[in-house]
Amino acid sequence: MLGTVLASALLLTGAAPAVTGAGWTPSPIVWSACPDDPDSPAPPDGECGTLRVPLDWNSPTGPTITLAVARHRATDSAHRLGVLLADLGGPGSSNAEFALTPGFFSPEVQARFDVVGFDVRGTGHSEFIDCPDTGPPPGDEPADRTEFAALRKYSEQAISTCRARNRPVFDHANTAANAQDMDALRRALGEPQLSFLGISYGTLLGQQYAEQHGDRVRAMVLDSSIDHSAGLDRFLGDRAAAADGVFRRFAAWCDRTTTCALHGQDVFAVWQQALSVIGAPARSDLRDRVLKDMYGPDWDDAAQAIAEAAAGNPPVTAQFSYNYASIRLAVVCQDFDLRIRDFAQYSALHAEELRRGPIMRGSTLGHGEAMACLGVHGPPANPPHRLDIARAPHLLMLNSRYDPATPYAWALSIHRQAPANTTLLTYEGSGHGVYPRNACTRAAVDRYLLTLALPPQDVSCPA
């Protein structure tokens, strides 16, 4: 564990990636009607286009790739404030689709901004990364050195096969490269500055853009933030602790809510029973489903799933949309140093996960990402580091106090890294994603985006 702590300390002092691609000029985007999609028809004010960017920003005269872009034009063009770029996160979400769903933003924001989204590398219609099926993996909680070696071998093969199928973009899909693409998009749109709203993993794109091109930021909202300074211990431990914190909130809700499927029972005891009566694969699925239910939160579904599992009927787990399982190998594994050297280091890390999150037995999200990256060799292309946004304007951060995916501790860490130009709004409730929660959270974001007015100090909104 000492090695992990030392590695984390070294990462905290690392510098932000250097800005590259000087002298490269993007072509203007040619807008046209979006392709027909009966499942997701484009709104009347929606348009689609493409943007060509260098595959490797360190070699801007080399091969290029095409990124899908979409926008929903400001409904009050006479009072248009500019472009609001949106990133839904994941990784794996289609930001182009997100931009064409204007109902997420308030009518006032839709009126004053062109809402724009681009599918970052490997997602949507931008060089989609799709890993072939390599068969069922061994369990991701190895009990001994033999099982650890088997999991590492499986992970190495899975990553090698996926990389071979999705080259060359697989090697150039990290978030620092996406931030360079974002500035190319700004230039292609002819905008001197951008406003930005990123959610979850999308906040990392915002942070890295603010580091690289802070003077090009008009306003930036970071909703449920990824802490890029997190080393392996915090990447796993903070999420484990956060998941347990939300589970305790769920148990309290069940105790006072008669419609809860576990009402009147010892929720913690039933949970342990559910985990003990089902097999290992189903146990992982149950933990994953309950974690996803915490995002809403959807307490009713979590209670029903636990009740069914305790009765010996494990439910089917919910999965990330899009291609999360594939693209995390090219993105998360290159944005974070998730390289576990050996079984001894894994044992120490996992013991800390269980110490900090004994109820949920760690976070299936954090643990799953770390173990999926087990077969990655070499240092990360976009190494973790402390946030440096000295050139950026004042940013607005939002986070639920009880967030299972992006722990509140991460928001506090980022806020401490940039105290001079970040304001933190805390939603005093559970769930992942804050902006549309209630009138308080929406009003704070809308006021900032529309007028650049921020609270004089950190504030909170009631659940």
* SS3 at position 84: strand
What is the pLDDT at residue 319? 42
Half-sphere exposure of 295 (CA within 13 A, CB side): 17
Token pair for 47: 């348009």
Per-residue pLDDT averaged across 126-148, rounded?
Answer: 92
- What would the DSSP string read from start to end of 282-350? HHHHHHHHHHHHTTTT-HHHHHHHHHHHHTT-PPPPP--STTHHHHHHHTHHHHS-----SHHHHHHHH
Omega of the bond leading into 379 within 30 degrees of 0 (cis): no
Tens of pLDDT, residue by residue over 281-326, are 789 899 999 999 999 999 999 999 999 999 988 776 544 446 899 9
Token pair for 328: 């995390």
The phi, psi pair for 184, rounded to 5°, reads -60, -40
**pLDDT above 70: percentage of residues in the chain:** 91
Whether 290 and 270 have beta carbons less than 8 Å apart is answered as no
Mean pLDDT of the chain: 91
- CA-nearest of 458, 24, 451 to 195 is 451
Owner of token pair 């809308």 = 446
Tens of pLDDT, residue by residue over 188-242, are 999 999 999 999 999 999 999 999 999 999 999 999 999 999 999 999 999 999 9
Radius of gyration of the chain (CA): 22
> Does pTM surpass 0.85?
yes
Per-residue pLDDT averaged across 135-158, rounded?
Answer: 93
The residue type at 323: N
The phi, psi pair for 174, rounded to 5°, reads -70, 170
Tens of pLDDT, residue by residue over 394-440, are 999 999 999 999 999 999 999 999 999 999 999 999 999 999 999 99
Integer Cα distance of 416 and 420 in angstroms:
9
